[in-house]
Amino acid sequence: MTDDRNSKTPEASDDHDRAAPEDALTSSTENPPEKRRDSRWNTSMETRLQTTPGVRPKKATLLNSADDVQAVIKQVLPAVGKARLEHQRALARGGMGHVDIVLDVGLQRRMARKVIGSGLSSKGRNVSLFLREAQITAQLDHPSIVPVHEVGIDEVGRLFFTMKLVEGKTLDEWQDVHGPDETPLSSESLLELLEIIIKLCDAVAFSHDRGVIHGDIKPPNVMVGDYGQVYLMDWGLARLKDDSATHISEVLSEDQSGGGGGTPAFMSPEQARGEAIDERTDVFGLGSLLYCALRGRPPYWGKTLADTLLKASLAECDPLLQKDYPTVPSELLRIVAKAMSASSSDRHESVEELGSELRAVLRGGEELPRIRVAAGETIIRQGETGHEVFVLEVGRASVSREIDGEIVQKGELGPGDVFGEMAILVEAPRNATVTAVEDCVLTTITGDLLQQEVHGMKPWMGALIRTLAERFQRQENGKT
């Protein structure tokens, strides 16, 4: 027996799908196809769910009346007079107060709440600094600056502000993991460090554009998240430029002609002397982060705070020398030295310039392998097939050739010299022997990588380099 309920005759289908001529005319003129298509999408989700076989909307258990609405609101939002922020645990404590983890009951969001110290809440300057930090940070909307949510007074009368809860490590804690006890950073850790500092450069460049100088850049004020997040924290000592696009309440304004404090171990010389600071003060601070991570200790260190401050004011900072850090690119050491120049006029003119140079180092390649060769050992030998090019980073080496059975000294190589490229570019045996005169550190570049770079050039440039290499090779072999 046929189930007529699920069958449809042609007549029934035509009657259902075909409109009367008058309806069709109205539909085509007053409700064009584009609008008709849109109207189908305007059907409520509830109606579509009800008419879709096998799909049933969930039954509402609340909101069936005004009383139900109020019941939901009471369950979600705290009652008037009841604390909206529930304390969960203490997070950190410092000179200006402490930071707790709290739960915003209404939003079910965990946040960090900074509360001014009980002994400071009656001191005008400390209150001013606390409120300035909240107002300034709240206006710096950048991925690497922690957003501030609100400022207020809690149920027991304490001044506080809340901000995003950042979970991770401070930069000095990161250093303890990747380079403990002044251990040199691995290639992978060095690349990660560059990525961290570049993100900080972006954040500081943004704050400078908004007219804000941080003034206290140091490892404890940098947070590194578990998923690549980087945050510059603690803007309590930030200074506003005269033309700043960031504003604070007039009552919080104060004279900002001097350095305004900071941390002596990481201070720029002008800041340590109490002089006016500007964007290049933060350039120094970012350079000091790199210095500390590479060396494993701050730029300045004295027996007392006054001793450290004196060293900072005189820029008495031991330089990072290539011979002491052979695995660190010489260009990076140059960038750190420039950023930390004693005179601000000798530093990078802006944080953008500093960040650009660091990006160039990062793009300069994955860290090329380096080898150490002891004094007296042969690096390359005449007549052998060449597979690598060498860049001498540390030490000295001698160049010699065997001519008619006699060894002839051809010269000496020092840091920065490149050798071994001819045998690869012209696919010929080595035409000289290079021997380490003293302990050497060399960067090695494989023939495949060199050829890849040459092939990646414009055709005429690659051809020019090969032609020059062949010409030099013929000259070395005494051919015309």
Which tokens go with 377? 């050992």
Q: Could you tell me the strand order of the sheet in which 109-116 lies?
A: 85-94, 97-104, 109-116, 159-164, 148-153
Greatest Cα pair distance, the chain, in angstroms, is 111
3-state secondary structure of 399: strand
State which amino acid sits at residue 192: E
DSSP E strand boundaries for 95-216: 97-104, 109-116, 148-153, 159-164, 168-170, 212-213
The count of other CB atoms within 10 Å of the CB of residue 64 is: 9
Contact 419, 390 (CB under 8 A): yes
Measure the CA angle with vertex 135, ends 131 and 141; round to 5°: 150
Pairwise CA distance, residues 20 & 76, whole Å = 54
Which tokens go with 209? 């554009």
Would you call 129 exposed, middle or buried from its count of C-beta atoms within 10 A (0-12, 13-18, 19+)?
A: buried
Contact 413, 421 (CB under 8 A): no
Dihedral Cα 422, 428, 433, 436, nearest 10 deg:
50
* CA atoms within a 13 Å half-sphere pointing along the CA-CB vector of 427: 2
Contact 435, 378 (CB under 8 A): yes
Nearest alpha carbon to residue 112 among 121, 103, 101:
101
What do you get for the CA distance between the two ends of the chain, in Å? 103
Nearest alpha carbon to residue 387 among 339, 329, 429:
429
Describe the crossing of helices 187-209 and 279-295 by its angle, rounded to 10 degrees.
170
Pairwise CA distance, residues 39 & 229, whole Å = 44
Residues with a catalytic annotation lie at 216
